[in-house]
């Protein structure tokens, strides 16, 4: 079997997966509008591993677009520490996300939340037959989240797009919701135009350390991309808020470092300044942004809608490094596709 054939196929199939996901959300417009009108005071996103990082990005998106109180916690925290996870005096919508639909901590978190009667549950998962899909008051089946590889790529972006579309529905941003339909074509263009550039960086084994910088919703995405680098390549990789990198982590910078910046349009100059300073310290730098960066989206979308575009090319970065190191990105070391606990 060719190493990485599943992962590569899943990364490259994201334009079609995104189109399919948006079609699915269209089918549930009225149900999604209805659940949001029930007067929730608190929105709590949860997942495990990749989907916890997805939850981090989603919580920032919800607060940014609706001003609702929102946060993200791992499923294990909600399961084991409910008293510090949600306030019984506040009506909460728990949004549980899982590629497999059978991750133990996420299921336990939902079951405990429902038992305590603190609100309602919305789930997003990839498999109809698994337990999570049966636990929510509203369950969204994102079939594009089904994958053969262990490390999430297409699953992560498709689930994230499903959440983003949902948030735009809740924010009553109808025009922006309709503009999400442009994302598949834009994604395909980025893969066509920049894949070779990212492949060259990925195969450069002189690079030993990776730092992904992103703020607001982009921090969750930076955390996920850093996880992809760890899972697929067994490399030193961390994520930080953009400006926070100056406060200590920059001491690790040298010529074997690659700094990857997920740069916003709203604070482009301040965030790009960090990358320029790190380049002066000898680091290799890769910037991604709407415009003015090494990789430019030119999407014409606002940054809440376009931040998903950071994902595919940087997934390729990890994929190519995995192959260059003689590893199999389909089957990362010590990992299984889903964590199921016996107790």
Taking residues 146-167, report their average pLDDT. Answer: 97
Please check the confidence at residue 1 and state whether its pLDDT lies above 60: no
pLDDT confidence of residue 336:
60
Tell me the average pLDDT across 26-34: 97
pLDDT (tens digit, 9 = 90+) per residue, 189-220?
Answer: 999 999 999 999 999 999 999 999 999 999 99
Residue 40 has pLDDT above 70, yes or no: yes
Residue 341 has pLDDT above 60, yes or no: yes
CATH architecture of 182-324: 3-Layer(aba) Sandwich (3.40)
pLDDT band at 333 (very low <50, low <70, confident <90, very high): confident
pLDDT of residue 41: 96
Task: Report pLDDT for 283.
Answer: 97
- Output the pLDDT for position 116: 87
Is the pLDDT score of 277 beyond 60? Answer: yes
Higher pLDDT residue, 118 or 233?
233
At residue 328, does pLDDT exceed 60? yes
Q: Do domains 5-172 and 182-324 have the same CATH topology?
A: yes
Cα–Cα dist 147/156, whole Å? 10
Given a cut of 70, whether residue 343 has pLDDT beyond it is no
pLDDT exceeds 60 at position 253: yes
Domain regions of the chain by residue span: 5-172, 182-324
pLDDT for position 338: 59
Q: What is the mean pLDDT of residues 145-174?
A: 97
9, burial (CB in 10 Å: exposed 0-12, middle 13-18, buried 19+): middle
Pick from 205, 154, 197, 166: nearest CA to 29: 166
Instruction: Quote the CA–CA distance of 32 and 170 in Å, as a whole number.
Output: 8
Task: Judge whether residue 239 has pLDDT over 80.
Answer: yes
Question: What pLDDT was estimated at residue 154?
Answer: 98
Identify whether the C-beta of residue 257 lies closer than 8 Å to the C-beta of residue 209. Answer: yes
Tell me the percentage of the chain whose pLDDT exceeds 70: 97
Where does 5-172 sit in CATH, by number? 3.40.50.10490
pTM summary value: 0.96
User: Can you say whether the dihedral through the CA atoms of 295, 269, 164, 58 is positive or negative?
Assistant: positive
């Amino acid at each position: 079997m060719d190493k990485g054939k599943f992962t590569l196929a899943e990364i490259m199939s994201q334009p079609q997966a995104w189109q399919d996901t948006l079609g699915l959300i269209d089918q549930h417009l009225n149900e999604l509008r209805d659940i949001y009108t029930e007067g929730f005071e608190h929105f709590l996103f949860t997942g495990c591993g990749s989907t916890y990082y997805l939850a981090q990005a989603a919580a920032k998106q919800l607060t940014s677009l609706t001003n609702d109180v929102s946060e993200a916690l791992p499923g294990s925290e909600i399961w084991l520490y409910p008293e510090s996870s949600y306030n019984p005096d506040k009506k909460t919508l728990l949004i549980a996300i899982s590629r497999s639909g059978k991750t133990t901590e996420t299921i336990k978190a939902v079951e405990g939340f429902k038992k305590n009667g603190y609100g309602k549950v919305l789930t997003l998962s990839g498999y109809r037959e698994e337990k999570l899909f049966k636990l929510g008051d509203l369950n969204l089946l994102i079939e594009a989240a089904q994958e053969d590889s262990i490390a999430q790529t297409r699953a992560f972006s498709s689930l994230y797009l499903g959440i983003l579309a949902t948030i735009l529905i809740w924010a009553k941003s109808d025009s922006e919701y309709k503009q999400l339909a442009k994302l598949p074509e834009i994604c395909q263009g980025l893969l066509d135009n920049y894949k070779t550039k990212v492949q060259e960086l990925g195969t450069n084994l002189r690079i030993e350390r990776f730092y992904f910088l992103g703020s607001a919703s982009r921090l969750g995405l930076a955390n996920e991309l850093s996880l992809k680098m760890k899972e697929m390549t067994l490399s030193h990789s961390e994520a930080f808020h953009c400006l926070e990198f100056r406060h200590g982590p920059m001491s690790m910078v040298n010529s074997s470092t690659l700094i990857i910046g997920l740069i916003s349009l709203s604070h482009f100059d301040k965030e790009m300044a960090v990358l320029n300073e790190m380049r002066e310290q000898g680091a290799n730098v890769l910037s991604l942004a709407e415009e003015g960066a090494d990789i430019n989206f030119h999407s014409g979308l606002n940054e809440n809608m376009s931040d998903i575009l950071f994902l595919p090319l940087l997934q390729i970065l990890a994929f190519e490094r995995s192959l260059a190191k003689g590893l199999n990105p389909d089957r990362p070391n010590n990992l299984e596709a889903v964590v199921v606990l016996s107790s």
